[in-house]
Amino acid sequence: MKNERWITGFLVALACILFVSSASAEDRVALIIGNANYPDADQPLKQPMNDARALADEMRRNGFEVDLAENLTKEGMRSALDRLYGKVKNGTSAFFFFSGFGIQTGRQTYLVPVNAQIWTEAEVRRDGVGIDAILAELNSRGANVKIAILDASRRNPFERRFRGVSLGLAPITAPRGTLVTSAAAPGTVVNEGDSENSLFVRELLKEMRAPGLTAEEVFNRTRIGVSRASKGEQVPWISSSLLEDFYLGKGGGGGGGSRPGDQVTLPEVKPLPDSREADTDVKRDFDFADRLGTRRGWEDFLDKHKSGTYADLARDKLARLDSGSSSSRPGISLPDKEPIREKEPTVREKEPVVREKEPVIRTEPAKKETAKPTKRDPLIDELTRKIDQNPDDGDVYFKRGLAFAQKNEFDDAIKDFDQAIRLNPKDHEAFNNRCWARAMLGDLQMALRDCNESLRLKPNFVDALDSRGLVNLKIGLPTNAIQDYSAALRINPKHASALFGRGKAKLQSGDTSGGNADIRAAKEINRDIAQEFEDYGIR
């Protein structure tokens, strides 16, 4: 009888061990996506598929059930995500990686499928896949650990089609038990480079293979490695709400490394600038010093905060000032809290109030090169076919107008915006874009009227405030330009075009220090902003 009880107990214990082992293998699932062949881009991206394949191999070695997918359409991404969701149950560890193009709008980050047709911000939400929605779905299905990696902070062809879009990705609030990291700080973009793999993925794979590191330590060391290798030009961003140590590798160490209970000597790792630290006074002091951009500002910060990640970043900023580094590089942008909106200004429905002497508004002759016909774009041809099929589709006229404007064919753009407005007289976006196109041709009086009408239809429309600021700047009314740009910045404090335009207007008004501060801040957000304004005729 004793032997029978012993055998029964042994079999039960063995069954439990086998069940736990099987569950452990099944409960580590990963979806890895590499999107490279975007028809709207000049050429395919070089690195996403290589990065996705290399990371998939590493995750398989670490015991994850991996679904590797490449060049997914919107439908393909939905299907792949449904497969991932179907594998998740209570206690699952879910891993998600995306490399390709990403866009932020409305403080949300959207991942772009290869067949996306994006011409307006509304279509970003229609065709893109929101990372916040992915994390929320994984969370609702019971995933205990959720890790998301986004290598999508690239300058993409879509964001150039509508004015006022923010660069890079938006900060992401990590739900409970989640770690999110992106290849660059929010609001910044990186160049792809010529190597087979991105700098971010190269550093990530190196750290994943180090023994005994938790997931937070892996990504923190990756951030430091990328920052050092790029000399501060690229700083990955991390947000974590993990409640316990999680190891990407088998038994706590990628591929036969140490287990979580083993004694492991780790190199010193700098603290993580995640959302918990970002909500402290340190972040506010750092942002203030960054806006000042002076040696004294950074020294005062370091006198108050002598250690920590932000102190290290401040010393890095100070070192660049001492070495005379250019201030036009992308800045180190850390997650911001939701800005407190001041009372929004009342939009002037009629002509703006003129505080300085009203100059005579002359229509500047259009530059010859802007009217010069260029090689026909296949996308314009496709939109033309749609108009031929349905001449009453104002939305297609609007899209073709944007396409013409992007090619500097402003006369044709204005004609299409005329049609869009004829078919929908309340189209505030068409009025705004016609305002901008007319400003490019020097028809400033008509441009001003279009901007005013756009703002009458949609008060406090950021893009129209920015456009009208440009018109006032070109007319020679810097006070009015400052008013418009400041109103736009109260709504979106990181609007690079409004910051740079206000800086130029302040310089015209004689406010040298204020103007230079705004211009410097704008360049920290968008390194190409000065060239954009030169293209607008503002030097």
Closest of 165, 145, 296 to residue 216, by C-alpha: 145
Average pLDDT over residues 56-73: 94
CB 227 within 8 A of CB 235: yes
| H-helix segments, 424-492 | 428-441, 444-457, 462-475, 478-491
CB 201 within 8 A of CB 51: yes
Q: Angle formed by the axes of helices 394-406 and 378-389, to 10°?
A: 160
Which residues pair with residue 29 across a beta bridge? 65, 94
Q: 368-535 has which fold?
A: 1.25.40
Residue 161 φ/ψ, nearest 5 degrees: -90, -15
Asked if pLDDT for residue 291 goes beyond 60, the answer is no
106-120, 255-269, 418-432: range with highest mean pLDDT: 418-432
Q: Cα–Cα distance between 511 and 395 in angstroms, integer?
A: 42
- Please tell me the pTM assigned to this model: 0.51
Query: Any idea what DSSP says for residue 294?
Result: S
Q: What is the pLDDT of residue 25?
A: 43
Residue 145 makes CB contacts below 8 A (sequence gap 6+) with: 92, 93, 94, 177, 178, 179, 215, 242, 246
| Residue range 28-192+240-246, CATH number | 3.40.50.1460
| H-helix segments, 88-175 | 121-127, 131-140
Residue 64 φ/ψ, nearest 5 degrees: -90, 145
Q: How many residues does the chain have?
A: 539
Asked if pLDDT for residue 281 goes beyond 70, the answer is no
Q: Cα–Cα distance between 78 and 72 in angstroms, integer?
A: 9
Q: Domain ranges in the chain?
A: 28-192+240-246, 270-338, 368-535
The two tokens of residue 185 are 């700080």
Query: Any idea what DSSP says for residue 96?
Result: E
The two tokens of residue 134 are 């992915």
Average pLDDT over residues 6-35: 60
- Rg over alpha carbons for the chain, rounded to the nearest Å, is 26
Q: Which position has the token pair 């690079």?
A: 496
Q: Which of 213-222, 239-248, 319-328 has the lowest mean pLDDT?
A: 319-328
Confidence class for position 379, pLDDT limits 50, 70, 90: low
Confidence class for position 29, pLDDT limits 50, 70, 90: very high
Q: What is the pLDDT of residue 116?
A: 87
The two tokens of residue 389 are 């099929």
Residue 416 φ/ψ, nearest 5 degrees: -70, -40
Collapsing DSSP to helix, strand or coil, 132 comes out as helix
Question: Average pLDDT of the chain?
Answer: 78
- Tell which wins on pLDDT, 381 or 459: 459
Q: Cα–Cα distance between 97 and 181 in angstroms, integer?
A: 10
Average pLDDT over residues 109-131: 86
Average pLDDT over residues 250-259: 42
Q: What is the pLDDT of residue 50?
A: 94
CA distances from residue 176 to 61, 106, 111, 173 in whole angstroms, order as listed: 27, 22, 22, 10
| H-helix segments, 62-176 | 74-87, 121-127, 131-140
Burial degree of 357 (CB within 10 A; 0-12, 13-18, 19+): exposed
3-state secondary structure 366-402: CCHHHHCCCCCCHHHHHHHHHHHHCCCCHHHHHHHHH
Q: C-alpha angle 271/277/283, rounded to 5°?
A: 110
Asked if pLDDT for residue 536 goes beyond 90, the answer is no
The two tokens of residue 422 are 């004829």
Asked if pLDDT for residue 451 goes beyond 90, the answer is yes
